[in-house]
Structure 1
Amino acid sequence: MSKYLIDKFLYMIDRDPELVERYREDPRGTVTWWEAERANTVLNCHGGEASTWQRFTDEEREALAAHDHVALFSLGAHPFLTLTLFIAMFERDHGPLEYQKAFGARLAHFSMPYPDIAT
């Protein structure tokens, strides 16, 4: 499991409006594409540096493909990265703060200490 890779995915997708729309419309395809093309690039580096070993687990891949923020939180994804991306994708389908409240309500069953979100 790689909390870093999940957080990197959430961060990189959220910073590109075209990728936000792509992920909203085709989550499984976007996850597959990103893992193959971008997962091993160096974050915020445009010089062609890359690694070759980072991959999602099946559980991570499925949670990302299902837009399942509860599963992502359980896996250690940072809640602010998840929330900001999911607001960009889904807030438009809801009334004011309706999506954010539903997002939080789905996480209400977690008690402290929360899953470790350190990377």
Structure 2
Amino acid sequence: MSKYLLDKFLYTVDRDPSLVERYRSSPAEFVAWWEAERANAVLNCHPGDASTWLRFTDDERSALANQDHVRLFALGAHPFLTLTLFIAMFERDNREPLEYQKAFGARLAHFDLPYPDIAT
């Protein structure tokens, strides 16, 4: 499991509106594309720099493809990175202020302390 890779996905996708829309509309295909094309790119470095070993586990890939923020939290994805991306994707579908954020939190309410480790 790579919490780093999960967080990298959430961070990089959230910062590009076109990627947010691709992830919203075709999550499984987008996750496969991102893993193949972007997972091994080194953040904030020369575009030619890349690693070769980073891959999602089947569980991580499934949670991302299903846009399952509860499973991502359980896997250790950073909750603030998850929340900001999911707000960008789904807040527009709600009519009330903070409706999506409240539903997001309610779905995590069954977790007790200590929460999953979010250190990378």
TM-score range, shorter chain: over 0.9
- Per the alignment, residue 104 of structure 1 pairs with 105
Secondary structure of the 1:103 match is helix
CA deviation after TM superposition for structure 1 residue 47, in Å = 3.1
Task: Quote the Cα distance in structure 2 between the aligned partners of 1:64 and 1:86.
Answer: 11
Equivalences, count: 119
Q: Please report how far the alpha carbon of residue 96 of structure 1 lies from its aligned counterpart in structure 2 after TM superposition.
A: 1.1
Structure 2: how far apart are the matches of 1:46 and 1:30? 24
In the TM superposition, 1:20-99 aligns within 5 A as: 20-94=20-94, 95-99=96-100
Unmatched tracts of structure 1, length 5 or more: none
| Aligned mates of 2:47, 2:106 — CA distance in 1 | 42
Shift of 1:85: 0.1
For residues 83 and 25 of structure 1, the distance between their equivalents in structure 2, rounded to whole angstroms, comes to 18
CA distance in 2, matches of 1:24, 1:76: 21
- Distance (Å, rounded) in 2 between the aligned partners of 1:77 and 1:103: 14
C-alpha distance in structure 1 between counterparts of 2:47 and 2:21, whole Å: 26
Q: How many Å separate the matches in 2 of 1:118 and 1:50?
A: 23
Higher mean alpha-carbon deviation, 68-77 vs 40-49, is at 40-49
Could you state the TM-score of these two structures normalised by the residue count of structure 2? Answer: 0.97
Name the Cα RMSD after superposition: 0.6
TM-score (norm 1): 0.98
Partner of 2:18: 18
**Offset at 1:45?**
1.9
Deviations 1:40-81 (A, max 9, x none): 000122431000000000000000000000000000000000
Amino acid in structure 1 at the alignment position of 2:108: L
